[in-house]
Structures are given as C-alpha cells and as structure tokens.
Chain A
Amino acid sequence: MSDGSFLTLGSIEAVRPVFLIVMGVFLALIGWRLAKTSGVWTARWLVAGGMLLGFGYAVMLPLYEARILEPFSPGRHFHGSPAVALAWHVVKITVMNVGWLLFGIGIALHANLLGSPAPRPRAQTRPVPSPHESIA
C-alpha cells in the first residue's frame, strides 16, 4: 500500500463508511440477540427494524459515500439516469425512517414503555371489628 492511500484511509472521509458499516452490522446483531430473549411480537419488530437499519447503514450509506449511488435532489444534473437516482432515494428514506420506527417500537415493547407499571403493594387494611362484637 502506497503512502497516499494509507493517508486517505486514516482521514475522516475514508473512515466514515467503515464506521457506518460496523455500526450497521452491530445494530442488526444486537437487535437479533435482544430479540432472542423477548416475546414473539417484540422480536419481530426488533428484527425487522434491525435488519432494515443494518441494510441502510451497512450497505446504502457507504454506497452513497462512495458515489456509486448518486444523491437525488430535484433540478440537478445527473450523470446517470434520474429515475434510478430517484428510486434509490425513495429506498433510502424508506429504509432509514421505517427502520428507526420499527426498531423504536420494538425497543418500546421490550422496555414495556406503554404497559402499566408494576402493581404497588396494597396497604394492609386493618380488619374493621364488626359492630356486633362490642355489643356482645
């Protein structure tokens, strides 16, 4: 490896895709491991969200960083086909946002966010003596 490529590997621009790939894979893995210990529906939400986010962070964003996929913005000149750029843009925003939504719902179910809190131990009520006792 020549000096130049080694220096670019150490720069922020080159580290970002690696960081994104590691984080995406890790997120999907931990989601799957969390899902193993939780209920059926929680596991489904978690795994679906984790896989979407893992795909988005580990595959799509590095491809955008590498300029293999063109970023879409209206009224811009494209090197390739604008339809392809638009389609990938739709896939990207769908995957990232729906992934966070599903993962958030999964974590919320896992944390029992919307469930009722654990029932408070009820204060012991003293048995009221029946009025007849005092008479008798």
Chain B
Amino acid sequence: MDPEAVANEIRSRLAADDPAALEMIWSEYASDLLGYLAGLHCSRNDAEDTLQEVFVTIARKRTYVAGARLLKPYLFQLARNVALNRLKRNKRIRDRVECMSDWLVPVGTALPDEDRIPKLAAGLAELPEKQRSVLVLKFYRDKTLREIGELLGISENTAASCYRYGIEKLRQVMMDDQNERFDRARSAHHEGVR
C-alpha cells in the first residue's frame, strides 16, 4: 500500500478515535521509531519505555497527529521530544558502559571479540545526537540520506555531513582501539618470547 495512503488512513482513523490507527502506526513506524530511540538513548530499555510514551502521546494528541501534514517526520519529531523530555526528567547521566551493551547484539552465530560491542557502542555514544541518529538509521534501518533528512527534519546535505563526521569520529575511536589491541598483542608476544 502506498505510504501516503497509509498515512491518510491513519489520520482518518485517529480522527475517528479508532484504536486500529494505533495498530497501523505500530506496523508502519514502530520499528523505525524504536531504532531511532535506541540510538538516542543508547539503551534498549529506555528506548522501549520511550516508545510506549510516544504511543500514549499519539493517542492523547491524536487531533494534532491527525492534522500532521507529514506523518512520519511528525512522529519522529514527537519521539525525539518525548525522548529528550524523558532524559531531562530522569536527570541521570547514564553510564555509557552500562547502557551500551544492551541495544546492539551480534548478528548470527559469529561471535565477535567480547570487547568489540562496547567499543562500537561506546564510539556511537560519544557522537553528537544527530550524527548518531544518522548512523543508526543508515546502518540499522537502511535509510537513505534523503530519507534520514526528511525524518529528522534536516536537509539531505546536513544528513550527509552528519554521516561523514560521524564516520570520521567513529573511525578515530575504532583505530585507537585496534592500535591498542595490536600493541597489547605485541607486548604479550614479546613477553612470551622472553
């Protein structure tokens, strides 16, 4: 079904207080929203709690949502606002190490180095919010830079810049980590030789 037709259907159902609208929003947008929120919070649990709050907000402010011209970007903006409010309300600075381990999981059966997950997640956590969101949506939600720009309310060029700077910063983190591991391995090797 055409995404715009779906959005129109959701709008009209929301306007009619039809709970089916919530189900439709879930099937159409929940995965993207959850991924975006996971990137914002760097935490699966926080992302899920925020997603619930987002849906409750959608239900409460359904007239606004029904009147949104661009439904998906509107929901992303709404999700961002809820997430930032939640962070502000909780007033807690999350321990990066604690939160970084639960929102990214290894693919398949291949077991990577145990410390690699924290390093990649830690690198993402160090990025500014926009850069992190762009990378998460690009790599984990397969969005194009244009789509990301639309969802985040930024231009495609800005999204591209965020992507470039994000990658650069991440590369730095990963490079330092790799060099450090290489140095550690070489030292161990020298110790063994001696």
A, B in one complex: no
Binding site for B on A (CB under 8 A): none
Interface residues in chain B, defined as those with a beta carbon under 8 Å from any beta carbon in chain A: none
